[in-house]
Amino acid sequence: MARAQSLADALPSGAQAVALDHSAAGFGPCLKKLGIELLIHTAGPFQQQDYAVAHAAAAAGAHYIDLADGRRFVCDFCAAMNGVFSAAGRTAICGASTVPALSSAVVDHLCSGWQGLTSIDTCIAPAQTAPRGLATLAAVLSYCGAPLQVWNDGQWQAQLGWASPREVQFARLHPRLGALCDIPDLELFPAYYRVSDRVMFKAALEVGMAQRGLAGLARLRAWGLIKHPTGLAGLLNTSARALDGLGSSLGGMVVHVEGLDSAGQRARRAWHIAADHDHGPEIPCMAAILLARKLAHGQALPTGAHACMGMLKLAEFEPEFARWGMAIDIVDENSTHAA
């Protein structure tokens, strides 16, 4: 509350800091009483949440944006909430975060004008010393070793989360081991981009020991020796600090696309971002900020409920990247090697 009040005091528009409990029975009426026009839901993790906050926003006549990256939360959002927000004449945007908001903006930019896409391979690489949260780690462990449905070889296949790490190359980071993560892109992108072969999303921890440890947990769960890895979240969150001396403040992300370009020739391109000084966690906030600015400036956004794909151009993110000193590389590649 003190930090919220400090921010409110620094704003020129007479902003007010208010403490609210989104799980309380009177949350919706309170939003309406306060005259909230836009609610940005950042209180994750979203993997185990329902849409109560979104329902409260719609009932209060407010627009809604969230930073969700939970696969089911984002992928089921439109079907669950479109009628409510359409009736209210308001916009609801789910997944205004690194995925799928930024990831889709990158894919749109890389393959603009192409005839078709064969594969999309993405890997996020957090800095070891970047801020960590217990809730985030619990969300990660919730699917560690669980079978995840992945579009691979032109069909849906089950693969284990965080198992079988493979080396991933980055433009400005040392190579890291990356393993499968459960995010909305895995389910949304195959149909949205008509990808013929593969959509893959991995995360690559900076310290290989930590990555191999998660792979070990994944195998133990798959073998039935550990049933609920989330119970280890507290221990792992604490012990991870002991590895900070082996890592750095440099994180990043890479997106590879492969397909047929406008001339029908096989093409492969990659987009890399490197964020130093532990600034990587700023990236998930950018899409929501950009969308909020559009609403504040009176720009119309589509009514109803939408997953955040194709709503922002990569160029709109670039001033935010520059603000935090992040470096971008776009590479035309001939190799067919996937991240």
Q: Are strands 91-94 and 116-125 parallel, antiparallel or unpaired?
A: unpaired
Indicate the pTM of the whole model. Answer: 0.93
pLDDT of residue 339: 39
pLDDT of residue 338: 40
Amino acid at 251: G
> pLDDT tens-digit profile of 211-232?
999 999 999 999 999 988 888 8
Class of domain 98-283+313-333: alpha beta
Question: pLDDT class for 8, splitting at 50, 70, 90?
Answer: confident
In degrees and rounded to multiples of 5, residue 284 shows phi and psi of -60, -20
Say if residue 46's pLDDT is above 90. Answer: no
pLDDT of residue 168: 97
Q: Are strands 63-66 and 91-94 parallel, antiparallel or unpaired?
A: parallel
pLDDT of residue 65: 98
Q: If DSSP codes are grouped into helix, strand and coil, which group holds residue 172?
A: coil
Q: Are strands 195-203 and 176-180 parallel, antiparallel or unpaired?
A: antiparallel
Asked if residue 38 lies in contact with residue 62, where contact means CB atoms within 8 angstroms, the answer is yes
Token pair 């690194």 is at which residue?
98
Q: What average pLDDT does the structure give for the chain?
A: 93
pLDDT of residue 14: 73
> pLDDT tens-digit profile of 278-307?
999 999 999 999 999 999 999 989 999 999
| Mean pLDDT of the 319-328 span | 97
The β-bridge partners of 168 are 176
Q: Regarding predicted confidence, which is higher, 13 or 84?
A: 84
Say if residue 242's pLDDT is above 90. Answer: no
Domain boundaries, the chain: 1-25, 98-283+313-333
Say if residue 189's pLDDT is above 90. Answer: yes
Instruction: Select from 201, 164, 179, 211 the least CA-distant residue to 69.
Output: 201
Residue 117: left if φ>0, alpha if ψ -120 to 50, beta else—which one? beta
* Secondary element (H or E) of residue 277: none
pLDDT of residue 302: 94
| Mean pLDDT of the 21-39 span | 87
pLDDT of residue 263: 94
Distance separating alpha carbons of residues 269 and 196, to the nearest angstrom: 17
Asked if residue 8 lies in contact with residue 15, where contact means CB atoms within 8 angstroms, the answer is yes
Tokens for 177? 């081991």
